[in-house]
Amino acid sequence: MFFWQGGVQPGLHAAFTDSAAGNLALNLGRPSTAAGNRARVETAMGVAPGSLRFMTQVHSSTVAEVPAGSGNWSPPEADALLSPDGSQALAVLVADCVPVVLADRSGPATGVVHAGRRGVLTGIVPNAVAGLRAHGARELTAWIGPSVCGRCYEVPANMRDEVAAAVPASYAQTLHGTPALDLPAAVRQQLLDAGVDVAAVPAGSCTLENPRLFSHRREPGAGRLAGLVWRT
């Protein structure tokens, strides 16, 4: 169920699911199946049923917050979700884009980010970091989860040039020498430029290459995996 799981500090956890957890996106396949998969993940996390907070991801630069005690939760249109007091279990869904989990080692704040090509270009990762810092986060650590790698994410040359002009680390070539984008490297650069510590990325985390992971490029509509952060 978990591609990787780790303890950030006592009682604070981060994880990324794999395809064994099933599709977690309500807009793919049967919503009831995805809802059941979400319930199984919540049980594995040890959080209350229905307490995992998602967002409606739209490839934007918008950051949303989950207030403490948000009982009647309606997922906002956003691509970063923050819990300023760290009380909310957060989830981000991907199937080639980059999932980022953020946690403050000096305080309670947590966050998750969905960084695709547009999000990298428009600064969703720096925006999320700034949002957490506005709530007092000072010692942020980030975990970059499974996503398509620079060897596999082929794009037109003009698209590569546009993104690389903003984030040079994104410039890449495929194994065949064609233009590509390395979004995990771009996200890592943005995090480091923002003064965020970046934890080790699990091996074998290219979604296109690893059959344990969902990939929209390999199999459109197959499912979405999740990046998670929560307290127990």
pLDDT tens digits, 177-189: 999 999 999 999 9
pLDDT at 34: 94
Residue 124 confidence (pLDDT) above 80: yes
Percent of the chain with pLDDT over 70: 99
Cα–Cα distance measured from residue 232 to residue 228, given in angstroms and rounded to the nearest whole number: 13
Residues 34 and 23: beta-carbon distance below 8 Å? yes
DSSP state of 170: G
- Residue 58, domain extent: 2-231
In 3D, which of 32, 33, 28, 75 has the Cα closest to residue 54? 75
Q: How high is the pLDDT of residue 70?
A: 63
CA distance 110 to 101: 8
User: Whole-number mean pLDDT of the chain?
Assistant: 94
pLDDT tens digits, one per residue of 205-232:
999 999 999 999 999 888 999 999 998 8
| 71 pLDDT more than 70 | no
What pLDDT is stored for residue 9 in this prediction? 78
Q: What is the pLDDT of residues 33-52, one digit of tens each?
A: 999 999 999 999 999 999 99
Look up residue 161 and give its two tokens. Answer: 């040039």
Question: According to the model, what pLDDT value does residue 67 have?
Answer: 84
Query: Which residue, 88, 93, 1, is CA-closest to 48?
Result: 88
Tally of domains within the chain: 1
pTM of the model: 0.94
pLDDT on residue 122: 95
| pLDDT > 90 in the chain, percent | 85
For residues 189-194, give the mean pLDDT. 97
- Contact predicate 41/1, CB 8 Å: yes
Per-residue tokens: 219:
């199999």
The whole-number pLDDT of residue 221 equals 85
pLDDT on residue 36: 96
CATH code of the domain containing 46: 3.60.140.10
